[in-house]
Structure 1
Amino acid sequence: MTGVTLNSVIKKYGETQVIHGVDLTIEDGEFCVFVGPSGCGKSTLLRMVAGLEETTGGEIRIGERDVTKLDPSERGVAMVFQTYALYPHMTVKENMGFGLKMNKIPKAIIKEKVAEASRILKLDDYLDRKPAALSGGQRQRVSIGRAIVRGPEVFLFDEPLSNLDAELRVDMRVEIARLHREIGATMIYVTHDQVEAMTLADKIVVLRKGVIEQVGAPMELYRDPNNKFVAGFIGSPSMNFLNGQIKNGAVVVPGLARELSMSVGSAVDGRVVHVGLRPEHLQVDPAGDTFSVDLTESLGGVSYAYLSAPTGERIVVEERGDERVSEGDTVGLIFDTDRVFLFDQQTEHRIR
């Protein structure tokens, strides 16, 4: 197996540039997830690695090889798509081995590779079935099996779980994580679902408008975001943001009754900021700032309360335990200023 390196990679469609000089190193055996909102360029970047999109500028290397101009078949990659793209008239084992058959690989080797992929993906009981007799999750496992038998240097996944229902998505996340542990291959995975990114990735690449906003381990991005976009995108529910201003070395927030005495770095007096608070870092307490409860969502072990301040500021609070707020209540909120994030309102960069 081997890693992937992108050097100043650019993609243009005519005069429209959609990938803006991306630099990225994915280590050998790493599970790297491209995440971001629709239209951020994550699938385009993946397809450029695969060779399905032409690279306008820059260099793509897989291991020691420059593959920028190579055909997809010469790159040593295998791709799993959002759609299963299985041949309906073929059995599971025929679907998985078809690519090898077309490359005139001996039947004995095909049988061996299909059997190994089937063992890894727990498909032994389904090898003689056709796709119509399989569930959505089983079909996606067959699609992954088709990639495994090719023995690629790099696996590429383009939103492979988006067609599955919620329960199957969870099951398949576990399957893909187990697959990575078992075969140890380099994997690049595209999703818009940050929960998938957090649970699967060794490294997350957060993209926006064709630019990398931040790269890091899941909890690194969660605990130490570089800007407001990353802070709001990583974490579910997303971070709360209140308007504030720096005055005399403290942070004044109209929605809160007290000034926040906390480090404001080198920020100048009068600077307007976004104050970031994660829902799980807030606590209901009568001694805190007063908010009214507009709505609650109970999910069993956890619930989310949607609150508003007298100034109109909105905030979401995570609650656990037996005693929880109800719609129409007036409650107080407290929090630790060590858990507060500050972002410049103009640049959205983190103030440290």
Structure 2
Amino acid sequence: MSGVTLEKAVKRYGDVEVIHGLDLEIDEGEFCVFVGPSGCGKSTLLRMIAGLEETSDGKIFIGSRDVTRVDAADRGVAMVFQTYALYPHMTVEENMGFGLRMTGHPKDEIKSKVSEAARILKLGDYLKRKPKALSGGQRQRVAIGRAIVRGPEVFLFDEPLSNLDAELRVDMRVEIARLHKEIGATMIYVTHDQVEAMTLADKIVVLRAGHIEQVGSPMTLYNDPDNRFVAGFIGSPSMNFIEGTVRGGKVDAPLLGETPVDAPVNLPADGTAVHVGLRPQHLTVEPGPSPLTLDIRERLGGVAYDYLVDGKGARIVVETRADEEIEEGATVQLRFDPSDALFFDGESGKRLR
């Protein structure tokens, strides 16, 4: 078991640079999640660590070993892909032990390692089945088991749950969390799903366009984002951003009411555009004259999400009780505690502190 370190890691395809000199430390035994929108470079970065993509510049270390120019097979990593890539003519047991057979391990050792992996993944009853007789979640567990038997220093997961339906995704997310807790290995996991990132990670790396926007624990990124991109990406539903302008040392944001917001941060000069960030659960609504109209209410059992709109196309989401009596189409006013608000520069998106 080893940690992973990136030093000024760069990836180019011809003249196009897609990973821009990244520095990152992943501690031994840590569960680290790379998250970001499609095309941000998270899978490319994972493949660089795996040795499946050549690193154009910089260095990659696994433990104390510089593996930048080491072949993928010799890096001590095991990768679980989005597709299961199981051999259909082999049983579960044969699929899980295939890699060890190819490297000449003794039969008794292979059987022992496969049995242990099957115990961890609760696959003991399925060892004699072939992949076609398994569910999607079971097939993905077999793919994970194939990685476990190799005893890698680092596990790499490339969107392993994206082919599963919603219920299986939840089940497998729990299985992967339990797996990490039981074996304590270093794991790096790529996803575009911030819910997976929040629920699985010890550390989240938020990527955008080949750059690291912020690194931290899930709750650090949720409660203390460095910029508007991170604040909007982490959390579901997303944070609301309400346009405002600095006037007289406060933020004038018409959608938040006639009274300017007293911002306990260092605001820029008067006339500067500022965005006020408020999460749906930090807002409440009440009937009253306002530019905002209750457009749609989504009831989800005990809670509901109210989607508010104004005449200029702005949309605000508010978490309310499902039994709220305000009718769709009514004008509503927003109420909130200013201490719950975050403030961002309207041009750069950087957090104002």
Q: Tell me the SS of whatever aligns to 1:22.
A: strand
Q: Partner of 2:305: helix, strand, or coil?
A: strand
Count of residues paired in the alignment: 352
Q: Hey, what's the Cα distance between the residues in 2 that align with 1:212 and 1:259?
A: 34
Give the match for residue 63 of structure 2: 63
2:152 aligns to what? 152
Identity rate of aligned residues, in percent? 69
Cα pair 1:287 1:334 within 8 Å, conserved: no
Cα distance, 1:321 vs structure 2: 5.2
Distance 2:312 2:114 in 1: 63
Q: Is the 8 A contact 1:288 1:333 kept in 2?
A: no
Stretches of 4+ aligned residues off by more than 3 angstroms = 285-290, 309-313
Structure 1 residues 288 and 78: CA distance shift in structure 2, 3 A: farther
Alignment check: 8 A CA contact 2:246 2:267 kept? no
Question: Aligned partners of 1:336, 1:173: CA distance in 2, in Å?
Answer: 35
Cα shift at 1:223? 0.3
After the TM superposition, which residues 81-230 of structure 1 pair with which residues of structure 2 at under 5 Å, given as runs? 81-230=81-230
- For the pair 1:346 / 2:347, whether they are aligned, the reply is yes
Letter of the 1:317 partner, please give it.
V
The structural deviation recorded for 1:330 is: 2.5
Q: State the match for 2:259 in structure 1.
A: 258
CA distance in 1 between counterparts of 2:186 and 2:215 reads 17
TM-score (norm 1): 0.97
Alpha carbons of 1:276 and 1:3: their partners in 2 closer, same or farther (altered >3 Å)?
same
Do 1:47 and 1:53's aligned partners in 2 also have CA atoms closer than 8 Å?
A: yes
Partner of residue 283, structure 1: 284
CA contact under 8 A between 1:255 and 1:311: conserved in structure 2?
Answer: no
- Kindly state the Cα deviation for residue 322 of structure 1 after the two structures are TM-superposed: 3.1
Q: Secondary structure, in 3 states, of the residue corresponding to 2:44?
A: helix
Report if the CA contact (8 A) 2:288-2:332 is conserved: no
Question: Structure 2: any 5+ residue segments left out of the alignment?
Answer: none
- For 1:60-80, what per-residue CA distance to the aligned partner results, in whole angstroms no more than 9, with x for missing partners? 000010000000111000000
Q: Cα distance, 1:302 vs. partner?
A: 2.1
Deviates further, 297-306 or 335-344:
297-306
Q: Which residue of 2 aligns with 1:3?
A: 3
Give the corresponding residue for 1:76: 76
SS of the residue 1:157 aligns to? strand
Encode CA deviations 1:130-181: one digit per residue, 9 max, x unaligned.
Answer: 0000000000000000000000000000000000000000000000000000
Query: 2:298 aligned with 1:297, yes or no?
Result: yes
Q: CA contact under 8 A between 2:293 and 2:308: conserved in structure 1?
A: yes
Structure 1 gap segments, 5+ residues each: none
Structure 2 residue 26 is matched with structure 1 residue 26 = yes
How far 1:254 sits from its partner (Å)?
2.6
**Greater Cα shift, 182-191 or 247-256:** 247-256
Q: Secondary structure in 2 aligned to 1:68?
A: coil
1:274 Cα deviation after fit: 1.2
- In 1, the alpha carbon distance for the partners of 2:152 and 2:245 equals 53
Report the alpha carbon displacement of residue 237 of structure 1 after superposing the two structures with TM.
0.8
Q: 1:321 to 1:305 in 2, by over 3 A?
A: closer
Deviations for 1:234-276, whole angstroms, at most 9, x for unmatched residues? 0111111111111111000132322101223152222111111
SS in 2 for 1:82: coil
Distance 2:75 2:144 in 1: 18
Deviation string, structure 1 residues 303-344 (Cα, Å, up to 9, x no partner): 111102466532111113533543222222200111111111
Pick closer, same or farther for the CA change 1:324–1:70 going to 2, 3 Å. farther
Q: Which amino acid aligns with 2:242?
A: L
SS of 1:110's partner is helix
Q: 2:343 aligns to what SS in structure 1?
A: strand
Contact 2:278 2:342 in 1 (8 A): yes
Hey, what's the Cα distance between the residues in 2 that align with 1:300 and 1:288?
Answer: 29
> Whole-Å Cα distance in 1 between the matches of residues 86 and 240 of structure 2?
43
Q: Is the 8 A contact 1:305 1:325 kept in 2?
A: no
Give, in whole Å, the separation in 2 of the partners of 1:5 and 1:17.
Answer: 20
Local SS of the residue matching 1:255: helix
Q: 2:334 & 2:238 partners in 1: Cα distance?
A: 18
CA distance in 1, matches of 2:24, 2:75: 18
Distance 1:292 1:125, change over 3 A: same
Q: Is the partner of 1:119 in helix, strand or coil? A: helix
Structure 1 partner of 2:38: 38
